Structure 1
Amino acid sequence: MIVPVTGVFAAVLGILLLVLSAHVVKFRLKYNKGMGVTDNPDFEAAVRAHGNLVEYAPIGLIMLGIAELNGVASGFVYWAGMALVVGRLLHAWGMINGRGNTHKARVLGVVLTWLAILAAAIMLLWNVWSVYG
């Protein structure tokens, strides 16, 4: 069975990961720093924007994929996936442009990401409960 809805979101987040990775590499080359960061806030923000995506995107995508495979309505999976992707985009943009400080986009990105993961968790629990409960 295929998971086309989750597949699209995985592709978009994969592209975002490459963009954020290139941003980190730019700083690594500039400062000749193979590991860790300097005291440059832009470098630190780039590393954390990348790291934060790596921390949140996998669990969100796994949950969406399981929901889609379990037969949760694709509309629910789609909207949770949109919240996840938009949340990750906003967070990265806010982290980089806010140089690691509080930024409206960063805050909204975190909230959307958490809501997406919560929605996916509820969808999964509801699906399992309605089938086996």
Structure 2
Amino acid sequence: MPVFYVCAGLLGLLAVSLTVSVGRMRMQKKIYLGDGGDKELLAAIRAHGNFMEYVPLCLVLIYFVSDFYGYWYTAIMAVVLLLARVLHAGGILGFIPLGRTIGAAGTTILLVVASALIIYSGFNLKQY
């Protein structure tokens, strides 16, 4: 499970980076509320917002998967989430061509797989 914790920590640092990026851009552009119609600021806000919308749920689901499927499932899913979110943020911010598409697809596929594994495990739990 150490891979999960390392990836979770790196995702936390990515969250901080996206937060600081929005704050810095707001100060530079003197836009303190909303996006002021600025496309660059809007992209930074959405990169941060989308990250915050998906990453917590994905991390919780991966953590649940670890209870039933062990190290390799957890490690692979954590790495996929980290790569997907880096690609997505880089794509929205214009650093990685096709990053947004690949990152969004990776995150969505991970959500589906993790959710399906948890549902399957839930049906197979034995009650006392």
- TM-score interval w.r.t. the shorter chain? 0.7 to 0.9
Q: Does 1:85 align with 2:88?
A: no
Q: 2:60 corresponds to which letter in structure 1?
A: I
Q: Comparing 52-61 with 70-79, which one deviates more in the overlay? A: 70-79
Deviations along 1:31-63, whole A, 9 cap, x unmatched? 222221122211110000000000000100010
Structure 2's unaligned 5+ residue stretches are none
**Residue number in structure 1 paired with 2:54:** 56
The 8 Å contact of residues 83 and 115 in structure 1, kept in 2 or not, is answered as: no
Of all paired residues, the percent bearing the same amino acid is 25
The 8 Å contact of residues 23 and 46 in structure 1, kept in 2 or not, is answered as: yes
The 8 Å contact of residues 81 and 116 in structure 1, kept in 2 or not, is answered as: no
Counterpart secondary structure, 1:85: helix
**Residue number in structure 1 paired with 2:20:** 22
**Residue number in structure 1 paired with 2:69:** 72
Report deviation, 1:84: 1.2
RMSD: 1.8
TM-score by length of 1: 0.85
Q: 1:60 corresponds to which letter in structure 2?
A: C
Structure 1's unaligned 5+ residue stretches are none
**Residue number in structure 2 paired with 1:132:** 126
Report deviation, 1:65: 1.2
Counterpart secondary structure, 1:115: helix
